[in-house]
């Protein structure tokens, strides 16, 4: 077997292990802390007897480790249990909301990734000149504000003052695509701004790192045009770090989505999770938490695998 | 007289510097330099770091690294001034008329592309050859440069060939487009000494056979003497002396050139061995987590107040030996006796006296001193730690030590960052002396320094040895240093002591094959030395 | 050391200083009581109410000052907790190495494989959000990042020749950590501390905005946005003041952090 394949498989195996550990951590965090689902349902005033009865009914009296594996098995087979608050199956809710969230994240990614790479390239091209400084200034400003602040500033100006876009992102299944896009234009803009800054900055650093290599100088001293230097020599080496940057930032979108959905009352996973936290609906929190964590971890694994695959030393071993 | 291929007149080069905490400003780094290179001739540019030699080399291709720009004068290549030429013309010149070989071929090759593709890129891209012609020419050059498997080596990736081979590939890359001029920028400096001469010979033959002209940039006068027809000595952006190689080597006019030529001419009379202060007996060692020994059955002695030079190439185990003696790497087997006491294998269990009497000086003075401590603190700490000196007494001793290392007053309150490379190394010497040691391990202490500065450090060390009666274990790859200062020598090769004895014993023939290779590989400031050496070798260098 | 202080850092110091002073002396400088209803709903700014009033008629400037106190206090306390835990453990891991380092580092990897906001949400679903629990949760979650930095910095420094020289001299662990490693690790750590502080401000504001951070009637900047967000739809900007406060505080702390980092590099960067 090619050594690089072994490395990739190792990385994937480690990733699966990490996923398992992460699910155990999330489950464990809701276990070791005081208070459980029964307490949450009955409230502080509940008697010990009532609590014990409910615990027995819900199976909470069995050892945590048993319940963890049951829960894990459920998640893997798509059975995520029922919500405490409305007794509805969590799986159905998540399936519906997941597609909404992915719709939002998809458009944010479609806009922010090319934009970030383009702006990163511009920053490199005009390094230390005004376009670079302007871009880093905007970066500084946008990482200094929480997502919901950016959201309200945009709502205040574009929805309330200018009436360009709705301040609530209500999307229904039958809506034409264009209307849907109009409805989510502001949340997409916010998510774009949030990840754009980081992505741009990291892209800039990755490209600069490559452009300062000695082999770029060699290429320039061969009399190649700037385009050829970039296309033939910089690009093959920059692609892996850039993909890495993109993946890390898409993972970052996962967090941004939670807040942005709440601001725009968008019926996605993020809002579901926050609602559940406020209502102390632990099964829902567990299910959502584990899905968010899994997406985050998977994107990071993809980033690692791309780095391995793109490394010429690993691809062509001695 | 032939028309010069390269004609440089009044060349001035400036750079924008960005000192932290200050406004960026422009400085001039080359202050008006004139020289010619005629077709098929080799001009050596020689100078210390900061002399501006690489900058001048790149200027012939109208290229400036970082914020470097040509600010004045003319640089005519084939009668055309590249300083004034439009970018399009400059591109046509680069990689066609003038090509470049850098110091680090490992960094200068694109790691993601095969060697052949990179070697022929300029030749094909500039329309000089078709792809087939260029590939044929590349294979010819690979053969000429003595690369193994010349037909297929081009299919490999840069990390798949050794450093010495890659440097030859870089030469092939530069010669492939049949340029008029090649700029060689320290092409052999990063290589081991025995590999260096092979590459040097390959470059020299290639220059001769292709009839190309060259600018050969180096800090090593002995190297440049082997390949160049003329030599220009540079210092701080100015020309010091220009002449034929013969004249510069055998009859230098300027004081600075004379100093460069006579460097390492230190006279040191060898002392006879006495009862040793350090006795290393049958040491075998390996690093944690590995399954092979890096030292095999190593035994050496050092007499009090004398110098043992441990010499070898990278990977010979010479630095590992130092780690074993200091106790940083406990050996698997063997015994070390120091000042009549047996040293425990690991450093933490050693007595304070053992620690004090065995001091160490490092190669990189930069990282050997805490950047947050003043010179006074750095030298004062051992005084306080070992002797409990405080207050005025300590200050007085610090000053004495500063005087001994010829730094004088006013240095106590400076930070390492405010010192030059040579001054830093002197402070490290003072720190070692402060402990009043019986033995100092000197690990490549001069190899990061310019020749004249290194010379000063060696003289200081010899002088201090007389005054303090301290022994040195001198680890180095540089045989010129060894000859200059040692009383006895251990030649190391692949973790073994290959040859050991007093200096005169070791340096007197008959030699074993490796010692012969190593000794003969040290460039000598003598015309025609290179050819003699190659003709008389018994053994191939490992770096090929 | 305050000589040659660049303009940007000076501005950063002044603004940050002002915010901290306002937070410390909130009870003295606030014009009204924190929960005191003094006017109509969402009054515009006037001589009486400089920033206007909030959604139930409390003076917004007063709310902002007390909100700043809560936000800055929680962020500062969490930063200190995160820093002491993270850097102490990081240094221990770097200096001891071996299995201690392995166990701690793998555990930190695990925690960092999940976004802190998600972890915080999971924890806050089964634990009451009080000032203390918020500080502990935020501080400990964030200490993983400090751990990584502190460990990396300490590992880098501990392989330097000057640390080896100190070991060879026979120096004790205390001298090596406090005299050789710490002075060189301090600048990057202090600069990072600034960034962690900003992150804490954003973090607590986000939690409060989501309704699971600081609980009413206590004011904090995130909470003020939550309380006044409906106003935005009527064109009332009350919810945007915290944005200005957070942004100016974050940027000025950033400016200070940049300055500290640059000072470090100038010391390491040799002559000139």
Interface contacts (A, C; CB < 8 Å): 151
Q: How would you list the strands of the sheet with B230-235, edge to edge? A: B98-101, B181-185, B213-218, B42-46, B230-235, B238-244
Quick one: pLDDT at residue B16?
80
Task: Please check whether residue A269 is in contact with residue A285, taking contact to mean a CB–CB distance below 8 angstroms.
Answer: no
Q: Do C125 and A147 touch (CB under 8 A)?
A: no
Task: Pull the structure tokens for residue A107.
Answer: 């458009």
Q: Is C222 on the interface with A (CB under 8 A)?
A: yes
Whether residue C186 lies within 8 A of chain A, CB to CB, comes out as no
Structural domains of chain B ordered from first start: 6-261 (3.40.50.300), 278-508 (3.40.50.300)
Is-contact C188 C149, C-beta < 8 A?
Answer: yes
Residue A271 lies in a domain: yes
Is residue A254's pLDDT more than 70?
yes
Chain B residue closest to C272 (CA)? B19
Task: Judge contact between B515 and B499, C-beta under 8 A.
Answer: yes
- The pLDDT assigned to B533 comes to 79
The neighbours of chain B, by the rule of 3 or more Cβ pairs under 8 Å, are A, C
Which residue of C161, C172, C179, C259 is the best one to mutate when testing the B interface, meaning the one whose CB has the most B CBs within 10 A? C161
* pLDDT value of position C266: 45
State the distance between the two ends of chain B, measured CA to CA, in whole angstroms.
41
Q: Cβ C171–B385 below 8 Å, yes or no? A: yes
DSSP H/E element including A103:
helix A90-125
Residue A128 covered by a domain: yes
Please name the member of C198, C232, C247 whose beta carbon is closest to the beta carbon of A155.
C232
Q: Is residue A2 part of a domain?
A: no
Has residue A271 got a pLDDT over 60? Answer: yes
| CB spacing of C246 vs A146 below 8 angstroms | yes
Q: Does A223 map to a domain?
A: yes
Q: Is A137 on the interface with C (CB under 8 A)?
A: no
Ramachandran angles phi, psi of A124, nearest 5°: -70, -45
Is residue A252 within 8 Å of residue C118, measured between CB atoms?
no
Which of C102, C160, C162 has the highest number of chain B CBs within 10 A, making it the mutation to test binding with B?
A: C162
Q: Are B371 and C176 in contact (CB under 8 A)?
A: no
In this prediction, residue C1 carries a pLDDT of 46
Rounded to the nearest angstrom, the minimum Cα separation between C128 and chain A is: 9
Within a domain: A55 = no
C271 has a pLDDT exceeding 50: no
- Burial (CB < 10 A; 0-12, 13-18, 19+), residue B146, is middle
| Cβ–Cβ contact B68 with A under 8 A | no
Q: How confident is the model at residue A208 (pLDDT cuts 50, 70, 90)?
A: confident
Q: Is the pLDDT of residue C272 over 60?
A: no
Chain A residues lying within 8 Å of C122, measured CB to CB:
26, 29-30, 277, 285-286, 289
In a domain? residue A19: no
Q: Which of C110, C205, C233 sits opposite A160 (nearest CB)?
A: C233
Chain B's closest residue to C172, CA to CA, is B348
Per-residue pLDDT of chain B (544 residues; tens, 9 = 90+): 567 889 999 999 988 876 655 667 788 888 889 999 988 889 999 988 778 888 899 999 988 887 788 888 889 898 888 888 888 888 889 988 999 998 888 889 998 889 999 999 999 988 889 999 999 999 998 988 888 888 988 899 888 888 888 888 998 999 899 899 999 998 888 777 778 888 888 888 888 888 889 999 998 888 888 889 999 999 888 899 999 988 988 888 888 888 888 766 677 778 888 888 999 999 998 888 778 888 889 999 999 989 999 998 877 888 889 999 999 889 888 899 998 888 888 888 888 999 999 999 998 888 899 988 889 999 999 999 999 888 889 999 999 899 888 887 778 888 888 888 888 999 999 999 999 999 999 998 888 788 888 888 898 999 899 888 899 999 988 887 888 888 999 999 888 898 998 888 888 888 888 888 888 888 877 777 888 877 777 666 654 4
How much is the pLDDT for B379? 92
Tell me the CATH number at A246: 1.10.3720.10
Band (C267; pLDDT cuts 50, 70, 90) = very low
Q: pLDDT (tens digit, 9 = 90+) per residue, C231-252?
A: 777 777 777 888 888 888 888 8
Position A77 in a domain: no
8 Å CB contact of A318 and B96: no
- Chain C contact set for A280 (CB, 8 A): 125-126
Mutation target among B104, B112, B166, B167 for the A interface, most CBs of A within 10 A: B112
Q: Would you state the pLDDT for residue B43?
A: 93
Question: Do the beta carbons of residue B309 and residue B489 sit within 8 Å?
Answer: yes
pTM for this prediction: 0.78
d(CA A75, CA A69): 10
Choose among B237, B204, B238: nearest CA to B223: B204
Structural domain span for residue A214: 90-281
Which one, of C255, C251, C208, C205, lies nearest residue A144 by Cα?
C251
Q: Which of C118, C126, C211 lies closest to A30 in CB terms?
A: C126
User: Which residues in chain A have their CB less than 8 angstroms from residue B162's CB?
Assistant: none
**A171 pLDDT more than 60:** yes
Residues in chain B closer than 8 A to C172 (CB atoms): none
Neighbours of chain C (3+ CB pairs under 8 A): A, B
Average of per-residue pLDDT across A112-127? 84
Q: Is the dihedral of CA A66, A69, A71, A73 positive or negative?
A: negative
Q: Which residues of B270-291 are buried (b: 16+ CB within 10 A; e: fewer)?
A: bbeeeebbbbbeebbbbeeeee
- ipTM exceeding cut-off 0.90 for this assembly: no
Whether C150 contacts C105, CB under 8 Å? no
Place of tokens 């070798």: B537
DSSP string, A177-208: HHHHHHHTHHHHHHHHHHHHHHHHHHHHHHHH
The number of domains in chain A is 1
Tell me which residues of chain C have a C-beta less than 8 Å from any C-beta of chain B.
4, 6, 160-162, 164-165, 167-171, 179-180, 183-184, 262-263, 265-272
The verdict on A237 touching B (C-beta cutoff 8 Å) is yes
Give the pLDDT of residue B2: 64
pLDDT-derived band at C3, boundaries 50, 70, 90: low
User: Is there a domain that residue A75 lies in?
Assistant: no
Interface B:C, Cβ pairs < 8 A = 67
């Amino acid at each position: 077997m090619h050594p690089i394949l072994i490395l990739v498989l190792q990385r994937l195996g480690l990733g699966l292990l990490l996923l398992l550990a992460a699910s155990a951590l999330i489950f464990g965090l809701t276990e070791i802390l005081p208070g459980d689902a029964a307490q949450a349902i009955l409230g502080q005033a509940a008697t010990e007897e009532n609590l014990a009865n409910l615990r027995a009914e819900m199976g909470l009296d069995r050892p945590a480790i048993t319940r963890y594996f049951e829960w894990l098995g459920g998640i893997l087979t798509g059975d995520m249990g029922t919500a405490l608050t409305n007794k509805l199956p969590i799986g159905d809710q998540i399936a519906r909301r997941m597609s909404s969230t992915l719709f939002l994240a998809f458009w944010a990614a479609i806009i922010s990734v090319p934009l970030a790479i383009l702006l990163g390239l511009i920053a490199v091209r005009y390094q230390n000149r005004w376009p670079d400084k302007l871009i880093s200034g905007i970066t500084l400003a946008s990482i200094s504000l929480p997502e919901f602040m950016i959201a309200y500033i945009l709502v205040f100006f574009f929805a309330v003052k200018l009436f360009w876009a709705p301040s609530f992102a209500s999307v229904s299944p039958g809506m034409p695509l264009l209307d849907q896009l109009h409805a989510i234009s502001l949340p997409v803009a916010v998510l774009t701004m949030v990840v754009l800054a980081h992505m741009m900055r990291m892209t800039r650093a990755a490209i600069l790192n490559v452009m300062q290599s000695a082999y770029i100088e060699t290429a320039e001293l061969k009399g190649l045009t700037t385009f050829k230097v970039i296309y033939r020599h910089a690009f093959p080496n920059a692609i892996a770090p850039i993909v890495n940057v993109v993946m890390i930032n898409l993972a970052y979108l996962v967090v941004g989505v939670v807040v942005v959905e709440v601001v725009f009352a968008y019926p996605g996973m993020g809002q579901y999770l926050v609602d559940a936290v406020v209502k102390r609906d632990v099964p829902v929190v567990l299910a959502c938490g584990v899905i968010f964590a899994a997406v985050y971890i998977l994107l990071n694994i993809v980033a690692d695998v791309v780095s391995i695959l793109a490394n010429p030393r690993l691809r062509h071993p001695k | 007289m032939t028309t010069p291929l390269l004609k440089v007149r009044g060349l001035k080069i400036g750079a924008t510097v960005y000192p932290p905490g200050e406004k960026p400003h422009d400085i001039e780094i080359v202050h008006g330099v004139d020289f010619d290179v005629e077709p098929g001739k080799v001009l050596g540019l020689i100078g210390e770091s900061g002399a501006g030699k690489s900058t001048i080399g790149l200027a012939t291709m109208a290229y400036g690294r970082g914020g470097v720009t040509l600010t004045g004068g003319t640089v005519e290549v084939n009668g055309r001034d590249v300083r004034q030429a439009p970018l399009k013309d400059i591109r046509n010149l680069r990689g066609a008329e003038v090509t470049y070989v850098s110091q680090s071929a490992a960094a200068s090759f694109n790691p993601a592309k095969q060697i052949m593709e990179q070697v022929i890129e300029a030749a094909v891209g500039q329309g000089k050859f078709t792809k087939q012609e260029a590939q044929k020419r590349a294979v010819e050059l690979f053969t000429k440069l003595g690369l193994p498997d010349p037909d297929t080596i081009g299919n490999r990736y840069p990390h798949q060939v050794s450093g010495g081979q890659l440097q030859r590939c870089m030469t092939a890359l530069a010669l492939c487009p049949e340029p008029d001029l090649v700029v060689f920028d320290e092409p052999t400096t990063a290589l081991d000494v025995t590999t260096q001469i092979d590459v040097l010979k390959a470059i020299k033959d290639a220059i001769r056979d292709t009839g190309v002209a060259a600018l050969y940039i180096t800090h090593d006068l002995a190297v440049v003497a082997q390949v160049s027809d003329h030599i220009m000595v540079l210092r701080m952006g100015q020309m010091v002396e220009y002449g034929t190689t013969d004249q510069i080597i055998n009859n230098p006019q300027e004081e600075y050139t004379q100093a460069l030529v006579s460097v390492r001419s230190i006279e040191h009379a060898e002392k006879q061995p006495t009862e040793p202060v350090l006795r290393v007996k049958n040491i075998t060692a390996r690093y944690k987590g590995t399954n092979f020994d890096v030292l095999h059955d190593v035994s050496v002695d050092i007499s009090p107040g004398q110098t043992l030079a441990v010499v070898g190439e990278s990977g010979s185990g010479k630095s590992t030996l130092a780690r074993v003696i200091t106790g940083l790497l406990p050996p698997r087997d063997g015994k070390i006796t120091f000042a009549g006491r047996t040293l425990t294998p690991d450093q933490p269990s050693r007595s304070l006296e053992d620690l004090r009497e065995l001091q160490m000086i490092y190669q990189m003075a930069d990282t050997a001193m805490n950047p947050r401590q003043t010179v006074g603190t750095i030298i004062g700490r051992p005084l306080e730690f070992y002797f409990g000196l405080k207050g005025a007494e300590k200050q007085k001793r610090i000053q004495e030590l500063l005087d001994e290392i010829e730094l004088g007053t006013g240095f106590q309150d400076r930070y390492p960052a405010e010192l030059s490379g040579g001054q830093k190394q002197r402070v490290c010497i003072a720190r070692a002396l402060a402990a009043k040691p019986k033995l100092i391990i000197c690990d490549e202490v001069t190899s990061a320094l310019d020749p004249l500065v290194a010379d000063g450090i060696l003289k200081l060390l010899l002088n201090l040895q007389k005054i303090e009666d301290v022994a040195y274990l001198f680890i180095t790859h540089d045989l010129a240093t060894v000859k200059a200062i040692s009383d006895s020598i251990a030649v190391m090769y692949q973790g073994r002591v290959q040859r050991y004895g007093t200096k005169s014993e070791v340096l007197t023939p008959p030699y074993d094959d490796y010692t012969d290779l190593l000794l003969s590989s040290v460039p000598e400031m003598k015309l025609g030395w290179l050819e003699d050496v190659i003709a008389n070798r018994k053994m191939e260098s490992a770096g090929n | 050391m305050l000589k040659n202080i660049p303009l940007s850092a000076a501005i950063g110091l002044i603004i940050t200083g002002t915010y901290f002073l306002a937070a410390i002396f909130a009870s003295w400088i606030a014009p009204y009581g924190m929960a005191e209803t003094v006017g109509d709903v969402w009054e515009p700014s006037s001589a009486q109410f400089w920033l206007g009033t909030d959604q139930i008629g409390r003076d917004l400037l007063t709310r902002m000052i007390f909100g700043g106190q809560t936000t800055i206090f929680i962020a500062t306390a969490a930063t200190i907790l995160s820093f002491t835990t993270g850097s102490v453990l990081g240094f221990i891991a770097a200096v001891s190495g071996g299995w201690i380092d392995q166990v701690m580092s793998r555990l930190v990897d695990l925690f960092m494989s999940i976004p802190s906001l998600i972890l915080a949400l999971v924890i806050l679903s089964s634990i009451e959000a009080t000032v203390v629990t918020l500080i502990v949760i935020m501080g400990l979650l964030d200490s993983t990042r400090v751990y990584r930095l502190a460990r990396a910095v300490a590992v880098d420094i501990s392989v330097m020749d000057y640390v080896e020289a100190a070991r060879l001299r026979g120096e004790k662990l205390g001298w090596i950590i406090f005299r050789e490693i710490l002075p060189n690790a301090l600048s990057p750590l202090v600069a990072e501390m600034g960034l962690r502080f900003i992150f804490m401000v954003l973090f607590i504001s986000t939690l409060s905005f989501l309704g699971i951070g600081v609980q009413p009637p206590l004011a904090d900047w995130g909470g003020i946005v939550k309380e006044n967000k409906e106003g935005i739809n009527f064109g009332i900007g009350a919810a945007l003041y915290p944005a200005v406060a957070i942004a100016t505080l974050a940027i000025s702390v950033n400016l200070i952090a940049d300055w500290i980092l640059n000072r470090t590099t100038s010391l390491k960067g040799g002559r000139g």
